[in-house]
Every structure is written in structure tokens, then in C-alpha cells.
Amino acid sequence: MIRRRLERFLANIVAERWEDWQFASSITNATARGKKFKRLGDGSLIAFPWVTIYNEHYIEIGSDTMLGPYCALSAGMMPGQECLTSPVVRIGDRCLIGRGSGIVGHLAIDIGDDVWTGHHVYITDQNHGYEDVTRPISKQSQPEKPVRIGDGSWLGTGTVVLPGATIGKHVAVADFEGYVHWLDVETGAFVARSKTGGRISNAPVVVGDLVVFQDDEGRVTALRPR
């Protein structure tokens, strides 16, 4: 009994201290790491622990924005790379990027104001090539294509946004009750939704102006909003 009480007491202390350390280790514009960014606005925070962050001087983040823990955020292929554009990655004001998400820019990723994402969302403006079967896919690349996500949009958990994708304002990319929905920019009304039968098993992938998903019976659907 005494041992169990001691374990609970110590566990509570460890949990409280971990929360304190996690907050103290987060990146803000008042920290040395935060000052490396091209811009990191007031009230914004990158939660600790993070996975990979580099070339911060090509990354611009607005005010009152939060990136959850275990996020990856980078510009270019490797630390110290000189990029062709600046900022390479721009995230607006009042955004919330979910836990475990990755934003990997090479040319231009523009995320508007008030954009929220679920956990484990991936956004990139460059993909791997695979056309040359004599070379490893890891050694092939495709041209970068700018990515834009409009103000007030929401990307559901697991959404993947690939090069060339343009998501308008007030757009929801997510799985609701087995449907993929796309909202109209002006009215917020549903302008497109699709269900191929069964539950959607894979998170949507945004490619250009298409939303591609697969149901639990293996059927693939590409949806273009009207």
C-alpha cells in the first residue's frame, strides 16, 4: 500500500514536471530558436517535442498560431540549403497544425489564416519521381509545384496535400460518415460529396484540384468540386 501511494505520488510529480518542461521547451519568438525564423508572430508556438525543423529563415509563421508536438517543418532538402524563394513556407495567423503533422517546402507552400488540421497531416510541394525503373525512387524527383490552402479551411486527420494542390477558402477536406465533403467558398454549403460504398478507409489525398480517396472495398474515387 505504501509503495503504491509512493508510485502515484512520484508519477504525479513526473507528469507535472514533464508538462512544465514541454511548455518551457516550446519555440516562440522569445526563444533563441524562434529568432531564427523569417517571422514567428506574437502568441505563436511550436510545441515540444518536435521532429525536424531546419532552414527556419525561409519559414514565416503569423500570430497566434500553434503547431502541435511531434511536427516536422522544413524548407529545402537539407539544413543550410539555399532556396530559390523566400518564404518557402508561409503559415498565416490563428492556425492550428495537428500533432504529428509534416510541412515540407521546397518552392512555395502558402497556408492562409485560420486554417486548422487534424493529426498526422502531410503537406509538400515536391514529390518523388518513379518513371525511370532503372533508378531507385529515392534518387528521382519531380519539379516543385506551389501549394496554396485558403483562409478558414480544415484538413481532417491524415490528409495528404501534394504538389500543385490549390485548396480554396473555407474548404473542408475530411471523411464525414463515409463521405468526402468539399465546401463552397462563398456560402459554406456542400457543393460536392461522394461515396463509393462502404466506409472510407484511407484519408483523402489532394492532388491539384482533385481529392482522391479509397473505400474499404479497395475502390478509388477522384472527386473534383464543381
Measured between alpha carbons, how far is 143 from 136 in angstroms, rounded to an integer?
17
Q: Which CATH architecture has domain 2-169?
A: 3 Solenoid (2.160)
Cα(17)–Cα(20) distance, integer angstroms: 5
* Domains of the chain, residue spans: 2-169
CB 43 within 8 A of CB 22: no
CB hemisphere CA count around 161 (13 angstroms): 34
**Per-residue b or e along 15-43, where b marks 16 or more CB atoms closer than 10 Å to that residue's CB:** eeeeeeeeeeebbebeeebbeebbbbbee
Question: pTM to 2 decimals?
Answer: 0.79
Is the Cα dihedral 173, 160, 211, 150 positive or negative?
Answer: positive
Calculate the alpha carbon distances from 58 to 34, 73, 86, 193 in Å.
Answer: 13, 11, 5, 37
Are 74 and 55 in contact, with CB atoms under 8 Å apart? yes
Q: Along the 226 residues of the chain, how does pLDDT read in single tens digits?
A: 788 887 787 788 877 887 878 888 999 999 999 999 999 999 999 999 999 999 999 999 999 999 999 999 999 989 999 999 999 999 999 999 999 999 999 999 999 999 999 999 999 999 888 888 899 988 888 889 999 998 998 888 888 888 888 887 877 776 555 445 455 444 444 444 444 444 444 556 665 556 666 655 666 566 565 5
User: What is the distance between the alpha carbons of residues 24 and 46, in angstroms, rounded to a whole number?
Assistant: 11
C-alpha cell at 158: 491524415
